Chains A and B, each alone.
Chain A
Amino acid sequence: MSETTTAAELPVYMRRDGFDPAPELGALREGERVGRARSPFGVDVWVLTHHDDVRAALADSARFSNATPMRGMPGMPVPDAATLARMRAGNPLLADPPEHTRLRRLLTPEFTVRRMRRLEPRIHEIVDERLDAMQRCGPPADLISSFALPVPSLVICELLGVPTEDRAGFEHRTSRLLDMSVPPGERMRLQAESREYMARLVAREQRDPGEAMLGMLVREHGDDLSTDELIGIANILLIAGHETTSNMLGLGTLALLRHPDQLALVRDDPDAVAPAVEELLRWLSIVHTGVVRTTTTEVEIGGTRIGAGELVVFALPAANRDPDATTDPDRLDITRGEVGHLAFGHGVHHCLGAPLARMEMRVAFPALLRRFPGLAEVPGTAAFRSFHVVYGLTGLEVTW
């Protein structure tokens, strides 16, 4: 938590009250549907909240472009064009088709459901090792630093071929980089450091390609990808690969602890796990919005006309709790048996890592709950983080 920014300064689409999106966001959805807010970058954006509007706009990459010109950070000098181009190279989230299609097609083979199944035994091992460590140290433990963060972090290291001893470094950088309360100057510096770190890893793989994904990308696509693109791809996979799933594991565990009947289902009934993961994704919607889009033409959405060249964000928690899309949307109900949430986005930018994230959660939640059937939160220790691009917990003490 930071002392420098207060909750009221947060844009409406980032404000939360514990697990729930701020009431103002729901009110916007039920009223005007489309609102205005000042982003943490200090620019005004349109906010879409209704499930149908968000889904339609996410599916419309022609009129809602991701290739928004990068502005750098507020109050900081704008980097020169070459630097900006380098910063966005290889990041599918900052590209539109056909450029996006080219990058995505190189990456999809690595993230198929079948590939993830092959990784499953290794995920089990990583989860078990963390649980063993927790058991050895004994209660109380901080669930975030002892389980929720290391599991996805170790998995993505293994998948990419990133040395696990570098974990502390990149975990800290990523967490600060995505924290909107960290001063822009420091975030700029962290972004540069992140790239330098990846540049070193990529250079090593180019000399001697390893067996993991980075080595594979160099071996098989070394000719169609520039070094800057390789660095960009590796960077986004490392960042997106641990920061998101770890917050789902942390926040998801707390949500289950506060709904003991549903926790018992996840612990005891293997068939309950997959639907529970989907419902937690929907209910928690840890990614507040996707990346900001720019309209390429005048659009009309949810009854509001938005001009060309305007910035638009999608309030995923609002869309995922839309009573027009889900019955009794504010209730966590792992048995609701509905899918179609937007927590992984929608359209061509739909989360590339979804099969991996799903697999990690399906393994980790039941393993944790079975290992520690008496798992309980230490009251008053759950620390929600508000200023972060990905919602979650900074800490949660548990006993068993």
Chain B
Amino acid sequence: MSAPRTGTVRVLADRDVCVGAGNCVFADEAVFDQDDDGLVVVLVEEPPDGDGVRRAVQTCPSGALRLIDG
């Protein structure tokens, strides 16, 4: 679907915006989790760039996630 990516990215998550739908956890469990309130927790702040993180950001319904290229 897309060319392999190299390097890392920084993941920014705004917990005030998150609606806890868990799409990010489904997209990339290595990077995202939800706390007891159901809100997003970033497990790895500078993960390797990849389809999983990209997909998480793209499918986040609330716009809570952003990537900054590392």
A residues neighboring B (CB under 8 Å): 58-59, 104-105, 108-114, 274, 337-340, 344-348, 350-352, 354-355, 358
Within the complex, the shortest CB–CB distance from B17 to chain A, in Å, comes to 9
Closest to B39 in A: A108
Chain B positions within 8 Å of A112 at CB level: 20, 22, 25, 34, 38
B61 is an interface residue with CB less than 8 A from chain A: yes
Told that A112-B20, A350-B23 touch, could you supply 20 new A-B pairs with CB distance under 8 A? A58-B61, A105-B37, A108-B19, A108-B20, A109-B37, A109-B38, A113-B25, A113-B26, A339-B59, A340-B55, A344-B21, A347-B62, A348-B19, A348-B62, A350-B19, A350-B62, A351-B21, A352-B20, A354-B22, A355-B21
Q: Interface residues of B, CB < 8 Å — how many?
A: 21
- A340-B59, A350-B21, A354-B21 in contact; A109/B36 too (CB < 8 A)? yes
A104 near B20 (CB under 8 angstroms)?
A: yes
Q: In angstroms, how far is the closest chain A Cβ from the Cβ of B65? A: 13
Q: Which of A104, A113, A345, A348 has the most CB of B within 10 A?
A: A113
B22-38 to A contact mask, C-beta < 8 Å, 1/0: 11011100000110111
A338 touches B1 (CB 8 A): yes
Smallest CB gap from B17: residue in A: A348
**B59→A352 contact, CB < 8 A:** no
Let me know if B8 is at the binding interface, CB within 8 A. no
Asked if B58 contacts A104 (CB within 8 A), the reply is: no
The answer to whether A111 touches B20, judged by C-beta atoms less than 8 angstroms apart, is yes
Q: What's the minimum C-beta distance from A379 to chain B, rounded to whole angstroms?
A: 36
**Chain A, interface SS category:** helix
A59 CB contact (under 8 Å) in B22, B39, B59, B63: B63
B38 to chain A: which residues have CB within 8 Å? 108-112
B residues less than 8 Å from A274 (CB atoms): 26
Q: How far is the CA of A60 from the CA of B38 in the complex (A)?
A: 22
Q: Are B22 and A111 in contact (CB under 8 A)?
A: yes
Bound-state Cα–Cα, A276 to B25, Å: 18
Bound: A57/B55 CA distance, A: 21
20 pairs from A and B in contact (CB 8 Å cutoff):
A105-B37, A108-B20, A108-B38, A110-B38, A112-B25, A112-B34, A274-B26, A340-B55, A344-B21, A346-B61, A347-B61, A348-B62, A350-B19, A350-B21, A350-B62, A352-B20, A354-B23, A355-B22, A355-B26, A358-B26
